[in-house]
Amino acid sequence: MKRRTVCYNARVTTAGEKAVRHSLWAGCVLLFIGPIGAQQNPDVIARQKAAAEEIWKSMDFPETASPVETAHFLVFGRVPEAKGKAAAQLLESAFATASKPLKYTEQEAPWPGKLVVFLVPARNDFVRLMRRVARRAPENDEFSHAEVAGDDARIIVGTSRSGAAELEQVAREEMIGLMLRRKFGGSPPSWLRQGFVRATVSRAARPSGKAVAAPVSSFADLWSERLPEAIRHQSATFYVDYWAYGPGNEWFDK
């Protein structure tokens, strides 16, 4: 793992961005740049697919739809075929959007080969799959899991004990967060992950539109994570959208 110190002097000159201009300052950020996945390799993808099929078969689920394979994903699910395809489309759209500010390419990808995504709407199925893949039981409020270990890159999405979740949307958010985590080389601050996920989802739907019109707090308050959740989410989305998809996108990955 590489350790890199990035110093910047942030200047904002775009009219109407007073909130950003008042909140950014000159400083240094210590980043840990983690390993980047290799480019897509047919042998790696074939092994990933075989391993995923073996896991899926070992769960002994009743008849399910065939897995959906796209350029960057292998989607298995106890869901109707149309829902699996919709999930794959959401993942591909978000992957293309997030790759731009994170500067990912086919030669320098966030994970080797393709990301395997398991969608299991029943809670007991999620628990069983977590025990099989992650080798542990999920926490009571846990309903998703993402990991990259060697050539294996997987996301498991289920439902919480408290109710159902939109599996394809949760999978998209987990995937975006995983892309950021791999670039960051560790776990980023919660506000950064939240802001990047929300900004990316918005930009995937409307590439030229701001995710949020204006922040409701200063960046200093956001960084300290002292804000109530709703305010933190809105402010994080505004600032991260500005950096990742607005005038600050040239240095966002650094």
pLDDT in tens, 189-203: 999 999 999 999 999
**Cα 202 from Cα 241, distance rounded (Å):** 9
pLDDT(9) > 70: no
Indicate the pLDDT class of residue 177, thresholds 50, 70 and 90.
very high
**Cα 35 from Cα 110, distance rounded (Å):** 8
Using CA atoms in the order 17, 193, 113, 58, what is the torsion angle rounded to 10 degrees?
-150
Burial 73-92 (b: 16+ CB within 10 A, else e): bbbbbbbeeebbbbbbbbbb
How many residues can be counted in the chain? 254
Residue with tokens 């298995």: 76
- pLDDT value, residue 39: 53
Measuring CA to CA, which residue among 27, 15, 113, 125 is closest to residue 71? 113
Both structure tokens of 26? 């000159």
3-state secondary structure of 254: coil
Residue with tokens 């009743």: 62
**Cα 96 from Cα 214, distance rounded (Å):** 25
Indicate the pLDDT class of residue 142, thresholds 50, 70 and 90.
very high
Residue 2: count of CB within 10 angstroms of its CB: 9
**Cα 98 from Cα 199, distance rounded (Å):** 9
Both structure tokens of 157? 């999405």
Beta-bridge mates of residue 246: none
Average pLDDT over residues 205-219: 88
Both structure tokens of 92? 């591909």
- pLDDT value, residue 213: 86
Average pLDDT over residues 229-242: 90
Tell if the pTM clears 0.85, that is, is over it: no
pLDDT(24) > 50: no
Average pLDDT over residues 114-130: 95
Average pLDDT over residues 167-180: 96
Tens digit of pLDDT for each residue in 62-103?
877 889 999 999 999 999 999 999 999 999 999 999 999 999
